[in-house]
A = this chain, B = another copy of it.
Amino acid sequence: MARALAHPTRDQIVLPTVLDCLSDPTRLAIVCSLAGHDQAATDLRCGDFAGFSGKSNLAYHFARLREAGLISTRVQGTTRYMTLRRDDLDTRFPGLLDSVIKSAMSDMEPWMPVGCRLVCESADQLEARPGFEPG
């Protein structure tokens, strides 16, 4: 069921909700990972963030990010691929996402959840994915 998940429209995205989403260290790290992955060949799956927290906790955070309009989730089989809604966010709040990500990247150490570097600093695990073929 629920083949297509509910996403807010561009103009349903509201600033306080977005900021609240970004204020959580785990979610901020997720967003940074997605941003750093922007031009890669594949989107990231839930499982790629296994180092961040437990599965059920990740599902919770992904739902919050999706409902706030920060990410879009594409369902494909049993896996879900996530993308940052860059265009929508840049249109709605110009410059916001860039400055947040840049600020976050410059000093993550104090607040970043353990295991984030797995996704942030390398794409090695991508090649380790079953069925992965480089572009």
| A interface residue numbers (CB < 8 A to B) | 14-17, 19-20, 22-25, 28, 92-96, 98-100, 102-104, 107, 110-111
Contacts and interface: CB of A to CB of B under 8 A. Distances in A.
Interface of A is mostly: helix
Contact of A95 (B19, B20, B98, B110): B98
A94 B100 contact: no
A95 B104 contact: no
A28 B95 CA distance: 17
Given A96-B99, A102-B94, A110 B14 contact: yes
B111 A16 contact: yes
Contacts of A103: 15, 92-94, 96
Nearest to A26: B16
